[in-house]
Amino acid sequence: MLRLILLTGVLATAPLFSASIDPSLKDGELKWFSLTETKAEVLQKVGPPANVTTFGSDFEGWQYHAGNTDHHEYSHYFVFRRSTGRLISVTRAYEEEQNVDALFPPAHTAVHRTADKLWGARVCSLNGGRRLIAMGSTKPGERTSQLLLILDSELRYFHPWLAD
């Protein structure tokens, strides 16, 4: 009986991972996060994080492991402003590179490169002052292992080369 109670407790606090926490398209629009969510809303949608870190003067990161992810690596990383408790970015790290062309319509997508031109990313401008970024992918058909959804206003803190 004690084992059943413990197992129930573990399952009740396990992350509630589902397809809804991965980016998708519905009627041609990105369905993921609006970046207006609070910590409580993310906790309700995703469950408790595997790890919480604070960094800088005003940031808090929540790491999650989904699927068969190597538990030394995270599958999802949420960053909040500590002063407001609001979500400012979500990163989805994939074990195997993904084709994300459907999320990057040419009319709303630009390619940005680092100053040395050795590395780049596709950047899609979205409503709500958000940008979706395919790290390391600079053209259709080129796969990525990391998607980042971030508020325009926060790019300068994390990826200044994309803020220009």
- Please give the share of the chain, as a percent, with pLDDT higher than 90: 70
**Residue 162, pLDDT score:** 86
Angstrom distance (rounded) from CA 159 to CA 164? 10
Distances (CA, A) of 1 to 12, 14, 48: 16, 20, 25
Q: Evaluate if pTM is beyond 0.75.
A: yes
Q: Are 49 and 62 in contact (CB under 8 A)?
A: yes
Place of tokens 């796969």: 143
**162 token code pair:** 């994309």
**Residue 138, pLDDT score:** 95
Place of tokens 């197992």: 7
Q: Which segments of the chain have a pLDDT < 50?
A: 1-16, 19
pLDDT digits (tens, 9 = 90+) for 96-108: 999 999 999 999 9
**Residue 80, pLDDT score:** 98
